[in-house]
Amino acid sequence: MATDRLSTMFAALADPTRRAILARLATGETTVAELAKPFRISGPAVSKHLKVLERAGLITRGREAQWRPCKIEPGALKVVDDWLDRYRRFWEASFDRLDEYLRDVQAAEKPRSRQRQSRRSADTR
């Protein structure tokens, strides 16, 4: 069964090493050797992570003589952002309704609080 593009991207983004690689590539194109420096993993392991990111369409790798530059494909993340945006709008609307409900409850509570305070001050006289 073929995996849809969004699932492939989320699977690639699930790994913290791959997210760190993407974060580094967001600052600019670089080589595999440079990408491997901050990690305590082998070069072949970094290459495997890069293949996963490349299959997901999140990065591209080039070949210029001995130099193998990698760069992020920012447009690819738009697919993820569009999917998340639906849920972002849902939760924002839900929180707005909750805020409105809480304001209504608080407004209804204010007259009751005033009545209690009036009774207490009358009882103490």
CA separation for the pair 58, 73 (Å, rounded): 5
Name the pTM for this structure.
0.69
pLDDT of residue 118: 66
Q: Which CATH code, of 3.30.70.1290, 1.10.10.10, 3.40.50.300, 3.30.70.3270, is assigned to 5-72? A: 1.10.10.10
Could you list the mean pLDDT of each consecutive 10-residue stretch along the chain, which spans 125 residues?
78 95 92 86 89 95 78 88 91 93 88 67 63
> How many residues belong to the chain?
125
Strand partners, 38: none
Contact between 7 and 80 under an 8 Å Cβ cutoff? The reply is no
Backbone dihedral angles phi then psi of residue 108, each to the nearest 5 degrees: -70, -30
DSSP string, 17-57: HHHHHHHHHTT--EEHHHHHTTSSS-HHHHHHHHHHHHHTT
Number of alpha helices (DSSP H) and beta strands (DSSP E) in the chain: 5, 3
- Domain regions of the chain by residue span: 5-72, 83-125
pLDDT of residue 2: 46
pLDDT of residue 53: 96
